Amino acid sequence: MSRIADTFARLRSEGRPGLVTYTAAGDPDLPRSAEILKALDRAGADVLEVGVPFSDPLADGPVIQRATERALAAGGCLRTALSMIEAVRLHVSAPIVVFSYANPLMRMGVSAFAARAAGAGVDGVLALDLPIEEAGSFRSEMKRAGLDTIFLLSPTTTDARIERAAELGSGFLYGISRLGVTGARDTVASGAEALVRRVRQRTSMPIALGFGISRPEHVAQVAAYADAAVVGSALVSTIAEAGSSPDLIDRVEEYVRWLKGAHAHA
Amino acid sequence: MTVTTRRDPDLRGYFGEFGGRYVPETLVEPVEELERAYLAVRDDPAFTIELDRLLKDYVGRPTPLYEAKRLSQASGGARIFLKREDLTHTGAHKINNALGQALLAARMGKRRIVAETGAGQHGVATATACALLGLECHVYMGAEDMDRQALNVFRMRLLGAEVSRVNAGSRTLKDAINEAMRDWVTNVTDTYYLLGSVLGPHPYPLMVREFQSVIGREAREQIVEQTGRLPHAIVACVGGGSNAIGIFDAFIDDREVRLIGVEAGGEQIIRGRHAARFAGGSPGVLQGTRTFVLQDEDGNIELTHSISAGLDYAAIGPEHAWLRAVGRAEYAHVTDSEALDAFQTLSRLEGILPALESAHAIAHAQHVAKQLGPLAIVLINLSGRGDKDVQTVEKNLERKTATTEDTEDTEVKS
């Protein structure tokens, strides 16, 4: 069983909702983004998504776009992201998922990437603009290297494609709670629950739900029907606001504890 | 590999190893819905009749095929013919596609249109089609392009479109496409994305080609009528590549006709200073399609440069990548300075101000004409008119004159 599957199995057996975090590799710089991963793990994040900065993040909203720019300027890219993961792997118990646009992965070469990622201790991969239809050989390469391929599901995903994603994907499914680009919102989208219900009818694979989550009550709300909530833009904003302040790492850790705290009582 | 008459991509939208559908999950179903809707109208005579009527009465098709005799003479070789897409309503080939897709959007019940634009010609064409059909229009344009194509920005606004300035990245066409896609993914239920070139996820490269292929069908008939034969070579500029595909398409099976695409060589072929994908690029995925892309070793997209906003883009249409791979088309590049010279040459010799994009085709066609000799026939797709570019040309000519005077000065002193 993969580290990701293990984590979700444990969450389920403990009846505890999970928290998945997203940060960009190299934001605000490579040494500190490594420290951030360790802080997230200490604060109890259950899965760490590491975003690979890409020049053209067309599915991302302004917050992640800015993070991407900071990370690119600081030397963030697929190679440095993998080196960073390799360096923190021994200090972090949570599974690590590489979250990337397709082009950096293809530029490295899919099999070269699979080998290097597995070597670095990566557990899963999510390629944002590589839908099921384009992911056939990609998924086989990942599987061969022992990596989970995580597929996205959106409110526009048909039931038939949900089934295929559950069949071809492994680890967990990543549900997008609303149409649009990434970004924090005041409330969780009303369509989120309906999406999860459609997924549950078709598969027992765990579901993490993202897009728009920023507060403990969102996490609690999502936890009522999904296996985990994903926090991205709001966490990235916390990093941006802390900037070069010496308490950056503490603030990140505090923020995640705050998010986790509420659903412990939910 | 054999080339058949109807060269559709395969069911997954691939031309050979190029094309496909690399979109975020939310767009998969909308893109499939678009494909179904397009394939339905493609074979619907009522749709074709409606579009053909608009192309004739509103756009002014067929556009003339004109023999540029003074240009031929000056180029010291072949007879040169110009397919006058610059004479369409709105002044460029872009209207052929914009009208076709706007009609399709209306049929799909989408009342809001988003589009990207580089030089502004596609934005103007889309704003025009939306005005005509009573659709809401929102155009995204890079900040740098808005500055260098100010006239077209004003035209779009006069036509009732909302134009948004995009400050991200290189602030040109690529960034405008990112922003248009973000809008689409957010408003996908009531919004139609009217992409302006043979780029993006399937079915766009196919659909845009089909709407532009009217250029080649007309040109083929006209050249045979005027010369009694097919041309030896066809030359067209290639940004995304829609005007080139549009004129190439009718000649694909005529293996004796050379098809030549001309990319923007910019200042020179060094990283960041050009937009010649086949000179400095490699296969990659950008904005929904797998094709030749200018990228660095980490897979980030490189900055591009061209004097013409319409050619200033890091990827080329996937069908072009395929035509090159199978050896059916060849690609060259022309520098800013050569394009500027061709702009003036055509203006002075023929009384036609070409778009700076089309000036790239003129510049290269002059070489081809010389090389092929007086018995040959060269057909150029004059994809657009140059009014939008006069300020850019003026600025660059001043700079050029200043540089020349500086040089002369130095020479006198030394």
| pLDDT, tens only, A133-156 | 999 999 999 999 999 999 999 999
pLDDT of residue B2: 39
Active site residue A159: no
The rounded percent of chain A whose pLDDT value lies above 90 is 86
**What are residue B181's DSSP bridge partners?**
none
Instruction: Say if residues B311 and B303 touch (Cβ distance below 8 Å).
Output: no
Name the one residue in this structure whose structure tokens are 């080998």: A115
Residues of A in contact with B295 (CB under 8 A): 103, 107
The answer on pLDDT for B262 being more than 90 is: yes
Contacts by A1-4 with C-beta closer than 8 Å and gap 24+? A2/A95, A2/A123, A2/A124, A2/A146, A2/A148, A2/A170, A2/A171, A3/A95, A3/A123, A4/A47, A4/A95, A4/A97, A4/A123, A4/A124, A4/A148, A4/A170, A4/A171, A4/A172
**Contact partners, residue B150, CB within 8 Å, separation at least 6:** B391
Comparing CB atoms, the residue among B178, B185, B288 nearest residue A179 is B185
State whether residue B153 is helix, strand or coil. Answer: helix
Nearest CA of chain A to the CA of B297: how many Å? 7
Polymer length in residues for chain B: 414
End-to-end CA distance of chain A: 29
Per-residue pLDDT band at A42 (split at 50, 70, 90): very high
**Across all residues in chain B, what is the average pLDDT?**
94
Select which of A27, A41, A46, A60 is catalytic.
Answer: A60
Select which of A49, A141, A227, A253 is catalytic.
Answer: A49
Residues of B in contact with A133 (CB under 8 A): 12, 21, 28
Quote the CA–CA distance of B128 and B131 in Å, as a whole number: 5
Catalytic residue positions of B?
94, 116, 383
Residues of A in contact with B24 (CB under 8 A): 58-59, 128-129, 131, 152, 154
Flag whether the ipTM exceeds 0.90: yes
Nearest to A56 by CA among B64, B22, B96: B22
Quote the CA–CA distance of A61 and A179 in Å, as a whole number: 12
Which tokens go with B319?
A: 């069908």
Strand spans (E) along B105-252: 112-117, 136-142, 162-166, 191-193, 233-237
**Contact partners, residue B278, CB within 8 Å, separation at least 6:** B263, B292, B316, B324, B331, B333
**pLDDT, tens digit (0-9, with 9 covering 90-100), for A47-104:** 999 999 999 999 999 999 999 999 999 999 999 999 999 999 999 999 999 999 999 9
Quote the CA–CA distance of A48 and B71 in Å, as a whole number: 64
Quote the CA–CA distance of A122 and A114 in Å, as a whole number: 9
**Contact partners, residue A173, CB within 8 Å, separation at least 6:** A150, A151, A152, A153, A165, A166, A199, A203, A205, A206, A207, A208
Cis preceding-peptide flag for B203 (omega within 30 of 0): yes
Phi, psi (deg, nearest 5) at residue B60? 95, 30
Nearest CA of chain A to the CA of B204: how many Å? 17
Active site residue A60: yes
Vertex B274 angle, CA B18 and B174, to 5° = 55
User: Domains (ranges, CATH) in chain A?
Assistant: 3-265 (3.20.20.70)
**pLDDT, tens digit (0-9, with 9 covering 90-100), for B292-311:** 999 999 999 999 999 999 99
Phi, psi (deg, nearest 5) at residue B378? -120, 130
- Tell me which of A111-120, A220-229, B93-102, B201-210 is least confident: A220-229
Comparing CB atoms, the residue among B23, B30, B177 nearest residue A131 is B23
pTM, 2 dp: 0.95
Half-sphere exposure of A122 (CA within 13 A, CB side): 33
Per-residue pLDDT band at A182 (split at 50, 70, 90): confident
Comparing CB atoms, the residue among B21, B186, B300 nearest residue A180 is B186
Average pLDDT on B267-286 reads 97
Name which of B21, B287, B300, B301 to mutate to probe chain A: the one with the most chain A Cβ atoms within 10 A of its Cβ: B300
Q: Which residues of A touch B (CB under 8 A)?
A: 54-59, 61, 65, 72, 77-79, 101-108, 128-131, 133-134, 151-158, 161, 176, 179-181
**What are residue A51's DSSP bridge partners?**
A24, A99
Nearest to B380 by CA among B206, B223, B267, B207: B223
Report CB contact under 8 Å: B284, A57: no
Report CB contact under 8 Å: A72, B299: no
Comparing CB atoms, the residue among A72, A105, A154 nearest residue B25 is A154
pLDDT of residue B413: 42
Name which of A68, A103, A168, A176 to mutate to probe chain B: the one with the most chain B Cβ atoms within 10 A of its Cβ: A103
Which tokens go with A253?
A: 């850790």
Instruction: Say if residues B340 and B359 touch (Cβ distance below 8 Å).
Output: yes
